[in-house]
Structure 1
């Protein structure tokens, strides 16, 4: 296991060999499954199982993500002794879409995401074969998972939240954005159109991306969507943005219900979610006598939003922090 962790430090130097060798072999052993989510929407997920493992991690991706993007992270956690289960949220990845234009990022109610995740938790994570249950959730997945923990305080032994979406980085003043979204909500057709400044999926050159410094990981992610049009998601709808903002507010209102030990990982140079909302979340936890690990967010210096897909040094810092945190509960 120690040798495996050492490999995190310099994987990009031979990334192609890793991807076409050990990672491909690992991916081929996956089990792809699905269940019926809220409203009968098919919710797809993937799992990596070993009979010897007694610990499991539920990976909860962000908006516009799919488990197809996550094999490297699953590989690393699996080789640290965890079973790994990854969900594709409704409206993205291989799960059912909400609208005729399948590229619009949309959800009827944010609680549908939480209901779906709770169903998956009951199907896979609650199994008595596991002695320890953990979750690692990114961005939108962080908000979904936190709301599940509000609902089920005993769902996980510990949770790590990667750049959780407790607030959205808005291109407009918040008061103006809220006013526009409220107006759009009164017009059903408009509420389901792409939010201002967004549209259908298109490939962005690495030099223009604001998600990661890792050229290798960015290009690999881009290829998944380029090669498989069914995975593509464009911008969110006005309704989704409104639901996302309200979900962050709901998280902050319900901090007192959280009992799960938490590690919050913050990307210093995030341009997708609001880091101030994460700071407020940790402050509220401290005031409730249940501080997150370290008492404040663990700031990954220089990191962009996708810290689980960042360059080797930053990504290794994240994975070491997560696995060290989880190891405390063995």
Structure 2
């Protein structure tokens, strides 16, 4: 359960790593931090696909400075959590309900017993879609949620979702759900390079993410499997129903980037219009990983976060 530290990305002090066991028997890795001063509540941090707790150390530092406790989770199939398939580079699920089980176990075993209320969710990309799925069924314990670049449809860099869904559904029926898509390549992030990357416009933070993979390659995974893509498409299709957005009863702020080509900013705008308790901020010039972006973009993000997430004394 060790979390490695990096010269440009040190582990925040006071970390308590905790194992989590889901209802279907999957072992997950989680971590909790408490601030040095008075605690304003707990931010539950949910990452995107293929990410790790280590990638968010800077964000954890910034939340601790705001006097929030932080509880973070590695989804099943990635980071330091258990892999389902023999090939550890395949972060696979058959259905997004499996991620919902991760959230439930994390909240019941780590957050509710060990972390001070009130509880707020901060989620990125795939994590954002999972939290919306959870929130439509139950409020859990979250007072508010901030979702960054949630996966509500595929962005411009990807093939159309209808094509991906039809192709991956057919291949899954043929028993190929555990395989990588035919055109997928196991190219490492550093091999693709900073120039032309679709994640961030900040070269230093891009290099920091690359360093995690070089130093701790067991934390990384490759492209999504055919089955994962099929599950993601089904989850996105469910979220298109206007009743889905209207059923989310937790006040939610969605932050999107105008230059995001990984997920669809237009789909995010459509979703927010159907929400009863939702609002959106579009940050000009931001790519997909807004919390890993250039400082002017991150300043806008944190200003929106601070205005939306109240502490227990507010």
What residue in structure 2 maps to residue 238 of structure 1? 226
TM-score by length of 2: 0.90
Q: Secondary structure at the match of 2:94?
A: coil
2:13 and 2:79 map into 1 onto residues whose CA distance is 18
Contact 2:23 2:105 in 1 (8 A): no
Matched ranges for 1:271-310 at <5 A = 271-285=261-275, 290-293=276-279, 297-310=280-293
Q: 1:291 to 1:36 in 2, by over 3 A?
A: closer
1:207 and 1:63 map into 2 onto residues whose CA distance is 22
Unaligned runs of 5+ in 1: 1-18
**Which of 205, 209, 220 matches 1:221?**
209
RMSD value, Cα: 2.0
Matched ranges for 1:35-54 at <5 A = 35-50=20-35, 52-54=38-40
**Which of 247, 255, 266 matches 1:265?**
255
Unaligned runs of 5+ in 2: 1-5
Matched ranges for 1:133-152 at <5 A = 133-152=119-138
What residue in structure 2 maps to residue 181 of structure 1? 168
Q: Secondary structure at the match of 1:98?
A: coil
What residue in structure 1 maps to residue 3 of structure 2? none
Runs of 4+ in 1 over 6 A off after TM superposition: none
**Once the 2 structures are TM-superposed, how far is the Cα of residue 77 of structure 1 from its aligned partner?**
0.6
1:245 and 1:283 map into 2 onto residues whose CA distance is 21
1:291 and 1:129 map into 2 onto residues whose CA distance is 26
Contact 1:149 1:155 in 2 (8 A): no
**Once the 2 structures are TM-superposed, how far is the Cα of residue 97 of structure 1 from its aligned partner?**
0.6
Matched ranges for 1:192-211 at <5 A = 192-202=178-188, 203=190, 204-211=192-199
Q: 1:232 to 1:115 in 2, by over 3 A?
A: same
2:182 and 2:23 map into 1 onto residues whose CA distance is 28
| Matched residues, number | 302
Contact 1:38 1:112 in 2 (8 A): no
**Once the 2 structures are TM-superposed, how far is the Cα of residue 187 of structure 1 from its aligned partner?**
1.4
2:164 and 2:98 map into 1 onto residues whose CA distance is 24
**Once the 2 structures are TM-superposed, how far is the Cα of residue 32 of structure 1 from its aligned partner?**
1.2
Q: 1:234 to 1:328 in 2, by over 3 A?
A: same
Which digits, 9 at most, give the CA deviation of each residue in 1:300-323, with x for residues without a partner? 101110001001110111012112
Question: Which is worse superposed, 134-143 or 247-256?
Answer: 247-256
Contact 1:48 1:83 in 2 (8 A): yes
What residue in structure 2 maps to residue 165 of structure 1? 151
2:265 and 2:233 map into 1 onto residues whose CA distance is 14
**Which of 300, 310, 314 matches 1:327?**
310
1:158 and 1:174 map into 2 onto residues whose CA distance is 30
Q: 1:280 to 1:313 in 2, by over 3 A?
A: same
2:215 and 2:7 map into 1 onto residues whose CA distance is 16
TM-score by length of 1: 0.86
**Once the 2 structures are TM-superposed, how far is the Cα of residue 248 of structure 1 from its aligned partner?**
1.9
Q: 1:164 to 1:212 in 2, by over 3 A?
A: same
**Once the 2 structures are TM-superposed, how far is the Cα of residue 162 of structure 1 from its aligned partner?**
0.1
Larger helix percent: 1
